[in-house]
Structure 1
Amino acid sequence: MISCQHDTAVVILSYNGAKWHELFLPLIVAEAHTGYDVIVADNASTDDTLQYVQTNFPTVKTLRIEVNHGFANGYYEALKQIEAKYYILLSADFEVTHGWFPPLRAAMEAQPMLAACQPKIRYYRERDKFEYAGAGGGFMDKYGYLFCRGRIFFDIEKDHNQYDDDIEVFWASGGCFMVRADLYHKVGGLDNELYAHMEEVDLCWRLKNAGYKIGYVGSSTVYHVGGSVISYGSPQKLYYNFRNNLILLLKNEKSSKLVWLFPMRLVLDGVAGLRLLLKGDIKEMLIIVKAHFHCYRDIGKWLGRRRENKKLITTRNEEGIYRRSIVWDYFLLRRKLFTDLGWKPRALRDK
């Protein structure tokens, strides 16, 4: 078991990630004096990543996971071995900035009902833009589709300081995710069956169903390279996008809504598959079919997880759910920017 000098452990899950550590660990370590320990959890790397970190960053604590079963399982195994008040799950391909940490910790300390939060996430390669996976905080529409402030489907905004505020969101990005350690373990942590996509949304949903808040802290900024676990636009990404989104609904949605929403999602996903077929994208269409088949094949497992999650439900916190269809608004009404939605999320403050 690793005990921390500070109350926060920044835990970087790494698989053959020496190139990222060479780029990004120096500033992460330099900023550690603001109040955190740095831990690299090596997810069964096949190269000399672990030795590289131990040799070049002697203040960084390390642990090794013997078998790589994916992103979610890597953190599942690592966090069982770390004692801290707060965890920050930080992907290896993130660049932090000077002063990135104190605003996150201050938000958590000020609000006991804040279970988790994320900073502003910008794109490493086009630094004036938000980054696809997290941007200015995560939301979900009435049909379970996910989007971000600063990124709706394929449109990514430039950062003009329009999202520098602190707000409640529905989910925080797993790429840079600060969470209370006791609550993380209380609700069961990341579901390792989800492998490497939407696992943070699932965790946030469980925390919100237990009555807690999820936040976005706009005064903290980090940069993300992106696509280093599962490449954006890849068949694997498409598969987990469809499969895991259905699993989220089965595990966490209230029964009165799930009874009509799940069949509707089957129809909507079928429309998406038909659209791909008409375009001649047969392989992509078959990936959607495969994702659905695998979800149904294991439906007993997901309903079992649903029963476990139900024991944790208190007063559901539904802040961050967009009460319209983001698909309708984006594709038909051409509302490409978050501000086009005419919706203002609640400020992050105690109720």
Structure 2
Amino acid sequence: MNDVVNAGPGAGPDVTVVVVTHAGRHLVQPCLDSLAAQSAPHRLLVVDNHSTDGTAELLAARLQADEILRTPANLGFAGAVAAALQVVGTRFVALLNDDAVADPDWLAQLLAVARDDPDAAAWTSLMLQFDHPELVNNAGAGLTPFGYGVDLAPDTPADAVPVGPVEVFGFCGGAALLRTDAVRAVGGFPAEYFLYYEDLDTGWRLRLAGWTIRRVPGSRVLHHHAATTDRRSELFHRHNERNRLWTLLRCAPLTFALTGLVRFVLTTASLALRQRLRADARQAAADHPNFRVGLRVGVLLETLRALPRLLRGRGRISAIAVRGRGAVLGEGIRGTLREQGHHPGR
């Protein structure tokens, strides 16, 4: 995308859509078809995360060379977006999962809000379930009182989501629009996360820097949920648990972050004791990887090894923060609780 790097105002579309794919030959074509049908002009950059299933050949046959960024290794979603941000030169960057199909006005809806919204740096779409498009998959990211990131409004009827842009704690990296310079100013995407929590961490840093984040429910995509990862796998649970702790240590008030870390240690010790004494606890660990003591000990060891780097990152975040960590945390939790209370059945 060398032609994009130095593009100035008026030099073409002011948004680049970034699609990350890894071994996504069976998924990416409908995604690209939906982007070709967008009503809003845009640039395109597909990050091929070292695919070996024929994805590279498919992309080469379909796209221009400057629309493809091929990585030398699988960098995960976080690393791939971080790599894309190094070469994108447009005012906005939009993210779309390779297992998503966007409505024709998906991008136009986001841009219509963003171009008249100077206080926000991220706008998240309404993601609907591919097989049940009347139901929500994701309506933004929230934060629980224990510091877990959550999808907002899962399985809620789409017509129950309030009409019009509304503030949410975080965006979903599966379908969102970002203000490029603002994301870079807060450190970009955390490539070391590989996958999971990278969008929550980035949104949290944007909030600390004084930006807001909104949901744009008129911007819609259909999403094959978990089509690219197995949420029952150790890969998922390892990164999910680890990156949650890393995000707390980087972004949350220190007491809150340390409390979360201690709770994780105590829960791990309790699981170890229960699994030693009870067959049903051992079976639960076999069925649910996040209950496996070995996985959790591995997460703790990775976190301890990463602690100096995480604390340096925390210092850099403090340097760009204009809002208190406690205030941002409280707003995130209260806003999520209000959002969950609004939707039926939650």
Deviation at 1:187, TM superposition (A): 1.1
Equivalent in the alignment of 2:49: 43
Mapped pair 1:108 → 2:111: no
Deviation at 1:159, TM superposition (A): 2.2
Equivalent in the alignment of 1:159: 158
- TM, length-normalised to structure 1: 0.83
- CA change 1:325–1:260 in 2 (3 A) is farther
Equivalent in the alignment of 1:136: 139
Deviation at 1:310, TM superposition (A): 1.1
Per-residue Cα deviation, 1:278-322 (whole angstroms, up to 9, x for no partner): 532335322233222321232222112111211111124627522
Secondary structure, counterpart of 1:38 in structure 2: strand
Deviation at 1:29, TM superposition (A): 1.0
Larger deviation, residues 178-187 vs 312-321: 312-321
AA aligned opposite 2:29 = E
AA aligned opposite 1:145 = Y
Q: Kindly report the root-mean-square deviation, in angstroms, between the aligned alpha carbons of the 2 structures.
A: 2.8
Secondary structure, counterpart of 1:170 in structure 2: coil
- CA change 1:301–1:57 in 2 (3 A) is closer
- CA change 1:273–1:125 in 2 (3 A) is farther
Secondary structure, counterpart of 2:115 in structure 1: helix
- CA change 1:336–1:206 in 2 (3 A) is closer
Per-residue Cα deviation, 1:213-239 (whole angstroms, up to 9, x for no partner): 011111111111122442222222111
Contact 1:9 1:38 in 2 (8 A): yes
Deviation at 1:75, TM superposition (A): 1.4
Contact 2:142 2:336 in 1 (8 A): no
Mapped pair 1:192 → 2:191: yes
Secondary structure, counterpart of 1:89 in structure 2: strand
- CA change 1:270–1:95 in 2 (3 A) is farther
AA aligned opposite 2:225 = G
Equivalent in the alignment of 1:292: 300
- CA change 1:126–1:173 in 2 (3 A) is same
Number of residue pairs the alignment of both structures matches: 326
Alignment partners' CA distance in 2, 1:111 and 1:164: 17
Q: Give the alignment partner of residue 308 of structure 1, picking from 313, 316, 335.
A: 316
Per-residue Cα deviation, 1:38-62 (whole angstroms, up to 9, x for no partner): 2212122213323322323459822
AA aligned opposite 1:126 = H
Mapped pair 1:148 → 2:159: no
Equivalent in the alignment of 1:213: 212
Alignment partners' CA distance in 1, 2:271 and 2:192: 25
> What residue ranges of structure 1 are gaps of 5+ in the alignment?
330-334, 342-351
Mapped pair 1:244 → 2:249: no
Contact 2:99 2:224 in 1 (8 A): yes
Alignment partners' CA distance in 1, 2:141 and 2:306: 27
* Identity fraction in percent: 21
Contact 1:37 1:60 in 2 (8 A): no
Deviation at 1:6, TM superposition (A): 0.4
Alignment partners' CA distance in 2, 1:112 and 1:339: 32
Equivalent in the alignment of 1:322: 333
Per-residue Cα deviation, 1:71-94 (whole angstroms, up to 9, x for no partner): 211111122112110001211111
Mapped pair 1:23 → 2:30: yes
Secondary structure, counterpart of 1:83 in structure 2: coil
Alignment partners' CA distance in 2, 1:36 and 1:275: 55
Secondary structure, counterpart of 1:157 in structure 2: coil
| Counterparts of residues 39-188 of structure 1 (less than 5 Å) | 39-57=45-63, 61-131=67-137, 135-151=138-154, 156-188=155-187
Alignment partners' CA distance in 2, 1:320 and 1:96: 31
Contact 1:166 1:216 in 2 (8 A): yes
Q: Give the alignment partner of residue 12 of structure 1, picking from 9, 19, 23.
A: 19
Deviation at 1:7, TM superposition (A): 0.2
Larger deviation, residues 83-92 vs 275-284: 275-284
Contact 1:238 1:288 in 2 (8 A): no
Secondary structure, counterpart of 2:158 in structure 1: coil
Alignment partners' CA distance in 1, 2:234 and 2:246: 18
Deviation at 1:142, TM superposition (A): 2.6
Alignment partners' CA distance in 1, 2:220 and 2:313: 35
Per-residue Cα deviation, 1:166-192 (whole angstroms, up to 9, x for no partner): 211111101112111111111111111
Per-residue Cα deviation, 1:90-127 (whole angstroms, up to 9, x for no partner): 11111001211112112211111101111100111222
Deviation at 1:325, TM superposition (A): 10
Secondary structure, counterpart of 1:172 in structure 2: coil
Q: Which has the higher helix share?
A: 2
- TM, length-normalised to structure 2: 0.84
Alignment partners' CA distance in 2, 1:268 and 1:96: 41
AA aligned opposite 2:222 = Y
